[in-house]
Every structure is written in C-alpha cells, then in structure tokens.
Amino acid sequence: MVECPFFILNPLSLRLKKYMSSPSRVFSSAERKRAQESRAAIKRLYIAMNHLFIRGSYKPLGVSGGAMIEALKMLNPEIYGSINDPEKVELDGLLYIFQRLPKGISACRSIRFISREGFEDSELDCIVPSKRRRNSYLIDNEEMYIELTRGRSDIYDILTHLTFMIIESEKIRLNSEDKHGIKHREWLMLEKKVEQLRKGEPINLEVGFTYLTSILGRKFDEVKEIYHRFEEDPEVNSLFEVVYNLGRTSQAEAKFRRERQGPSMERIITFSPILRETIGHHHYGEMWADEIKKLLSKKGLLERPIHIISANLHSVMNCFFANEALTEKTNADKYNLEDVARKLSQPKNDQLRKVVKEFALKNGMYQIENSNGTNIAVQIFDTAIIPQSFIADEIPVNSDLYQNDQPVIIVMDYAFGEQAYETLDELLKPYSVSEEKSFKPKVQSISIMGKAGILEGNKGDIMVPTAHVFEGTADNYPFENDFNADSFKNDTLKVFEGTMITVLGTSLQNKDILKFFNHSSWNAIGLEMEGAHYQKAIQSAAKIRNAINSNVKLRYAYYASDNPLITGHTLASGGLGLDGIKPTYMITGKILEKIFNQKRID
C-alpha cells in the first residue's frame, strides 16, 4: 500500500473488527456546530501561543493573555472540569497541573522559559515535577526559570496549564475579598494557618478545611479528599500553600491594577532569545541520537540487526533480567512475569528494582541517561551477551534466530508530542564515523508502546492503530501494523482496532470533539500525542531518504490511561497504578516475541 500524508478514506485506516463497537452515525447540526466551535477555539489558542512565543513575552491578564483565557474557557476541556464555574475552583484539575509544573510556581509572579543555557552547571537547586521531565530553577521567591527542550508541544502544554492556573487564581481572589479588595475573614484565617505551617507548627486540619470550603467554593469532603491527594506527592506543595500563593499573587496584581502605585505586581511570562532561536531545529535530538550511535559503534553493534522500541524503562529490562536477578538474590523459584512486575512496581520495593537494574548493567544492558536536553533516557540490550535462559518463560523465542542474528534492542523512554519526530528522525539517519565512512542503521523493526486516551472501553484496555491522523489537519498516516486485535486476545482486557488521533495536547480536548472523532466516519478509537510524529519520521527515513529498509516492521499498541468521555475517568482523576501492569507487560511481551521470531531483513 502507498502511504499518503493526505486524507484518503483508506480501507486499512478505517478497518473495524468485532472488538470495536459504536459504528459511525449521522451527527446533528447542533453536535457538528459544537465540535466545530471547539476546534476553532483550539486553533485560536495555538495561534495565540505561537504569536506570544515569537513576541517573547506576555502578561497572563493582559490583552493577549485574556484572549487565551477566553479561548480556553470556550473550549471547556474535560480535564479542567469546572473551569467555567465562576465560583467553584477545579480541584482535580489543580492537582493535575501542579504534578506537571515545578514545585513553588504558584507563588511566582515572573516565569521565564529558557533552553539549555548552562543553569544545569550552576549551584541553583534543580526542580523536576513528578509527571513532566522538565528542569526548573527557583531564582527567588517570585521568579522561576523553566527549561523547555522538547519542542513546541512542550510550550503548548505548559502555557495551557499556566492559563488554567491563572483562571483558578482569579476565582480564589474573588472568593477571598470583596470588590474593594477588603479580605474576607476566611482568607485572614487561612493566612494564619499557612504561617503556622511554614514555621513547622501543627494546625487543626479540619478547621483549615472549613476556611478552604469558602475560598474554593467546594464542599468539606471534597476539600478533605483533595488535600490528602496533594499530600501523597512530595513534589507538589500542600493544598494550603497552593491556594494561599495563588490567591496572594492574584490579589497583589488586582491591587496594583486598581491603584497603579509602586512597583508592578503584574504577572509576566517571558521566553529567552536562545529558546526562540533553537526551537524546532533538532538541536537536542541530534546530540541525543549521536550519543546512542557512538555507544553502538564503540561496542561493535552497528552492523548487527537493530530493533527500536519506544516504551518505559522497566518492562523490557524486567522481561530480560528480573527473574534471574531476583531468584539469584532470594534463592526462590522462578516468578510469573506479571507477579514479579507487580512486586517490582510497589513503592516499598525500591531496593529490589535496584537489584534488577544492577544485574542488567552487568549482563548485557547499557544505559544512557537523559543528560543531553531531551530528557529521554535509553537502554541498549546486546543479546549476544544475554543468555536466552534469562528471558521470561512467557515469551516464546526462536533459539536459532536468537543465537545466529544476535539482535540489538534499543529502548527509548517516552518522547513528548512532536519531540517524537525530532528524536526518531535523528536516530534513523546514517552515522558518520569519518568523512569517508558512514553506517546506515540496520533497523529491522520499530515498536511503539504507549499510554493513550481511549474512546471506547475502560482504563487498561488495549488499542491497536491502523492509521494515525493529525488533529486539526487533513494529514493522515495509514500503515501496515504487524499487530492486530487478535495479537492481544485476552479474557480480561478488551482490544480495539482502528484509527488513532494524534492531538496537539491532551489538555485541550472536550467531549464535543472526542464524540465527533469517535462516532463520525473517522471511527477513532483513541487519542495520543506522538503516533503521527513517529510515523512521519519512519516514512521519511524508509520511503524518501532510504536511510532504513523500506520493509521495516512496524508495531504500534497502546493501553488506555484514561477515558476522557467518562466523567471521573480523565487523566485528572489519577493514573492506572497497578492496574496498568497487565496491559504494559502484555504489550511488551508481544513486542519481544515478534522480535525474537523475526527473520532478518537485508
């Protein structure tokens, strides 16, 4: 099949199996209009973000920032819940963004986005959020620098979260003072509670929750629950601290705007000149890929068959080494793969995870840490060193192929949005050893395993794409997936096969858009942020540049991290936890099974 970047109704891209229900239906004019209005709001947001990035700075409550606020409120994303309620502060949404923003940002009036500009070698403390790999530096109590090295998707993501943060901070201010700026009693009492907490003094939490109910416009039990969820993440400030900081910065700005006296207290966001110069130039992706190829060259692995996997950095390693490492340490019998994965996933078993990693590094695994700006660590597995007996029993292996071909497996941690194109595009390019000599990587297969939002089914279910479609454009990428729904037959998990939508940002989806994708002729089964970017890099390398064999095997499979069409099942409601182990290891096992039974492509 000829793969085409333009929209053609291809039978492959629209293939549905019995595993997928909900056939396409005719949309009413009202439903179509709502979806179109939502798409227009997304387009306005991205145009505004690109404009502000080029300009170099903006004030979140100025004219440009106000346009972004209005567009985001019109869009009304599912993940931001009650964003349009004038009094109710969205609690799940706040926790979601603060797990992805650096600790302490709620108190900052000035935020500056930078590239990799030498701060990593300074003595400033580096702050990394729990759910986003971004280096940040708190310069003083009111200013923070944040590194953005992962492309425009990184910029769109963080600007969306900051816009939502500003919206909620204004609600907190309006709930805590009157129109003349006179503080309500609940706010004054919250100030005292925060002062006590900062001094390390105990407070009566339930009295504090009572003050917060008024300031947040929420019920007592809702405040109590979200407080404990904030406390579970050490990389997030406490709920009391976050609410106080957001309200204080908003109050200070409102007072300055009323009185126009003294130094400016307006919040401001700026972009460094170096960031604006380097974005989109593959600067960090090229360094990242060169480091991988240098290691492959040093270890004599460039001439061997190479298989690339985009996944987490634990499941492939555990499939190779966990049983051998743990049985050697505990003298126990071999474990079932899923059982050992559950054991290693528990927070209390950090020492066991270290045992497995140390064993792997001594027995054929190499690891490149994320020190080059991409924040994507890499593992390389040399099967010439790894005995076949180490591999989990649940994974069938063709012994002759394993011993004769000795495949090299490269596992790259998850990319973010369009960074997927930058990194894979650079990795698939030939490696120049000298001016006269270069090596084309002998790539046999590329496997993409990831988390995605599902539009049919529940968290943990599996999606097998037949095509990737770019949201908001006519660009689409049908491809021959070496997986299909039958590859993952299972008694407990549902499997869906069809089109995946590659979205500009998971934070910018609402039910109107998602229902249109799901129920219209697109027949979309899920949404994610990297698939079309990966496929674009693969097709250019295989079909245009001839950097890799055009018959390279492609394997895509996703497991559902959320269902944004179901209230309480969005990303803001929390992750999969241990429920994600079964689909993760099922997909990992199938990828390795395919690799260990694939004949070499010359």
pLDDT exceeds cutoff 80 at 38:
yes
Q: Tell me what pLDDT residue 313 has.
A: 95
Q: Residue 65: how many CA atoms within 13 Å on its side-chain side?
A: 20
- Give mean pLDDT, residues 251-273: 95
Residue type, 454: I
Q: Are residues 234 and 310 in the same domain?
A: no
CA distances to 332, 396, 545, 557 from 342, in Å:
17, 21, 43, 21
Q: Determine the Cα–Cα distance for residues 575 and 582; give it in Å rounded to an integer.
A: 14
Q: Are residues 324 and 459 in the same domain?
A: yes
* Domain's final residue, options 266, 289, 324: 266
Q: Binning pLDDT at 50, 70 and 90, where does residue 574 land? A: low
The percent of residues in the chain predicted with pLDDT above 90, rounded, is: 74
**Domain membership flag for residue 11:** no
499 vs 571, higher pLDDT: 499
Q: Are residues 234 and 309 in the same domain?
A: no
Range of the domain at 541: 278-596
Q: Determine the Cα–Cα distance for residues 237 and 128; give it in Å rounded to an integer.
A: 13
Q: How far does Cα 597 stand from its chain's mean position? A: 31
Q: Which of 407, 202, 414 is nearest to 320 (CA)?
A: 407
pLDDT exceeds cutoff 70 at 174:
yes
Q: What order do you get walking across the sheet with 143-147 strand by strand?
A: 57-58, 268-271, 110-114, 143-147, 136-140, 126-127
* Domain's final residue, options 236, 266, 296: 266
- 379: its two tokens: 């593992």
CB contact at 8 A, 249 and 267: yes
Residue type, 352: L
Q: Tell me what pLDDT residue 12 has.
A: 35
CB contact at 8 A, 102 and 111: no
* Domain's final residue, options 246, 266, 286: 266
**Domain membership flag for residue 159:** yes
Q: In DSSP terms, which residues pair with 126 in a beta bridge?
A: 137
Tokens 């973010």 belong to: 416
Q: Which of 577, 529, 211, 593 is nearest to 394 (CA)?
A: 593
Q: Are residues 140 and 192 in the same domain?
A: yes
Q: What is the mean pLDDT of the chain?
A: 90
CB contact at 8 A, 447 and 523: no
Q: Tell me what pLDDT residue 373 has.
A: 85
Q: Determine the Cα–Cα distance for residues 347 and 233; give it in Å rounded to an integer.
A: 13
- Give mean pLDDT, residues 55-76: 95
Largest CA distance in the chain: 80
pLDDT by residue (tens digit) across 511-533? 888 888 888 777 899 999 999 99
Q: Tell me what pLDDT residue 542 has.
A: 95
List all residues 6 or more positions away from 287 whose beta carbon is below 8 Å from its beta carbon.
372, 373, 374
